Structure 1
Amino acid sequence: MDFNTLHHQPQPLLIANAWDASSALAAEQAGYDALGTSSAAIATMLGYEDGEGMSFDELFYIVSRIKAVTELPLSVDLEAGYGDTTDQVIENIHRLAHLGVVGINIEDSRVINHERSLVDAIYFADKLRELIQACPGIFFNVRTDTFLLSCENTLEETLYRGRLYTEQGAHGLFVPCVTRADDIAALASEIAVPLNVMCMPSLPDFRTLTSLGVKRISMGNFIHANLQTQLTDLLCKIQAHHSFSDVFGHENNR
C-alpha cells in the first residue's frame, strides 16, 4: 500500500517517529506501516536544540542510515525547510526523494533567536505552492503551529490556514497540540485533506480519534524523551547502588 493510500483508510495511520536506525528497526519489528522522523529527537540525539539547530547535511545522514535498514515508507520532518530560499528547500527535498523518502512535514513557523513564531499565511502558502509543484511524488504533510503557539482565535486561524494550504496542493494537515474533541472534529470535517494529530497528555484515545475523523497520528519526540528519562534513571541507579543489578533486574523477575 502506498503512502498516500495509508492516509485514506478507515483506521488512522499510526506513524512511528524514529530518530536513528535502531529506533526505525524497532518500529518495523513492532509492525508499524510507516515511519516519520522526529526533528526534535534527532536534534537532541546530536546535542542541538530543536528548530533547525542542526545542519541539513546532519539530518540527511541520519535519514540515509534509517533508509539503509528499513523499506518502510519514510516521511521526514523538514521543519521550516533548512534553507533561506525556496530553491534551497527544493534542493533539500530532491536530495531526500533521491534516497527514497516518500513524504515530508513542513511547518508554517520559524525559530529565530530561540523563539518560535508563525510565518505570514499568504507568504507561506505561496512558497508551499512552489515547493509542491517542484517536487511531484512527495507527500506534503503541512504543519500549522497555531495550537502549539496558542495564537488568537486558534481554531478559526487553523481553519483559515488549513484551507489556504489545501488550495495550494497540501496533501495533509498536521496540527500539533490540538486535543479538544470539538476542535479535532471541526478540523477533520472542514479541511479537505487528511488530518494529522500528535501525541499529547490529553489527546483522546485512538478509537475516539477515529470517530472524530483523524487520519494520521504522530508521536513527536515523546517516545525518545521517555526513553531518555529511563536512561538517566538507570545511570543514576548504577551510580547510587555501586552495582549493575538494576541493569539486569528484569531478568531476575522472570
Structure 2
Amino acid sequence: MTDDVLRGRAETLLALHRPGDPVILPTAWDAWSARLAAGAGFAALTVGSHPVADSVGKPDNEGMTFDDLITRVAQITAATDLPVSVDIESGYGEAPSRLIEGLLSVGAVGLNIEDTVHSEGGRLRSADEHADLVGALRAAADASGVHVVINARTDLFLRQDGDESDRVDRAIARLTQAADAGADVLYPVGLHGPETLQRLTSELPLPVNAIAAPDKADPASYGPLGVARISFGPFWQAALAERSKEILARWR
C-alpha cells in the first residue's frame, strides 16, 4: 500500500470524528467480519484485541504478540478498502517506532493505546507515563509521514480505580494530558450513564470515543451527548456468539 493511500485513509478516518454526529466503527476481528461491516455501509472499522484474541484461541490482555495481531490486521485490510484502526492494547512491550511501522506495514491508519500495562502485572501507567507514550507514538507517526489517528484510552472506569467520587475528574485530567501529548481521540472506556458521558464529552478537549453493545444500546442516544466515535469492543462478537448458540441448539 502506497504512502499516499495511507495518508488519504488516515485523513479520512480523522475527519469522520465529529462530536454530536458520531462515526460508528464496528469492531472487526477477521476478514469475514470486516467484509460484513463494510457491506453494511460503514465508513471505517476498528480491530479489537479481545475479539481477535478469541478468534485465534489466545487470551486478551496481550496473550497475543504484536506480530499475531498485525498478521490478522493484514488479512482485514486486504479484505476492505476502508480506513482501519487497531487496538494495540498497551503496546505489547514494543517500541513506539515498531508499533507505528508495524501498523502502517499492514495498512492500518489508527490505533488505540491503553494505560494498563499487561506485560508488567497489569499495573496502571501513571498519567505522565501514558502521555509520554502517546507523545512517542505521535512522534513516530509524524516521522512516517502519515497522521496515524491516535485514540488514547484510559482504563480507570474498567478497573474501578481509586475512589468513585473523583474518578471522572482523574480520567479527565489523565486524558487531557494525553491530548496535550498528541492524541486525536480520547477513550474513557466503560458503559457510562448519560450524565457521566455528557460530562466527559463537554470537559475533554478532543473527540470522545464511547463503547456500545450493538444489540442493546440505542444508536440515536450518543449524538446528543456529544460523542464523536462509537465502537463495539468485544460486544458484537459476543452477540453473534449468543445467536449462534441458539441456532446450534436447534440441532443438538
TM-score (normalised: structure 2): 0.87
Separation of aligned partners in 2, 1:24 and 1:178:
24
* Aligned-partner residue type, residue 125 of structure 2: V
Match of 2:8 in 1: none
* Distance in structure 2 (CA, Å) of the matches to 1:186 and 1:199: 17
Q: Offset of 1:184 from its aligned partner?
A: 1.0
The residue that corresponds to 2:207 in the other structure is 194
Which structure has the higher relative contact order (CA within 8 Å, separation 6+)? Answer: 2
Superposed CA RMSD in Å reads: 2.1
Pairing of 1:1-254 with structure 2 (within 5 A): 2-8=12-18, 10-84=20-94, 88-111=95-118, 116-136=122-142, 137-151=147-161, 152=163, 153-200=166-213, 205-239=218-252
Q: Give me the TM-score of the superposition, normalised by structure 1.
A: 0.86
In the alignment, the residues of structure 1 paired with residue 102 and residue 227 of structure 2 have an alpha-carbon distance, to the nearest angstrom, of 30
1-structure distance, mates of 2:16, 2:82: 12
Q: Which has the higher Rg, Structure 1 or Structure 2?
A: 1
Q: Deviation per CA, 1:23-48, whole angstroms, max 9, x where unpaired?
A: 00000110001000011001011111
Contact kept? 1:83, 1:89, Cα under 8 Å? no
CA distance in 2, matches of 1:212, 1:36: 22
Q: CA deviation at 1:117?
A: 4.0
1:141-194 CA deviation, whole Å, 9 max, x = no partner?
A: 011111111122210111111111111111000121141112111111111110
CA distance in 2 between counterparts of 1:124 and 1:225 reads 29
Paired residues, number: 235
Q: Kindly indicate whether the alpha-carbon contact (under 8 Å) linking 2:19 and 2:226 is maintained by their aligned counterparts in 1.
A: no
Q: CA deviation at 1:200?
A: 4.5
Amino acid in structure 2 at the alignment position of 1:232: K
Q: What's the offset of the Cα at 1:116?
A: 4.0
Identity %: 34
User: 8 Å contact 1:43–1:53 — kept in the other structure?
Assistant: yes
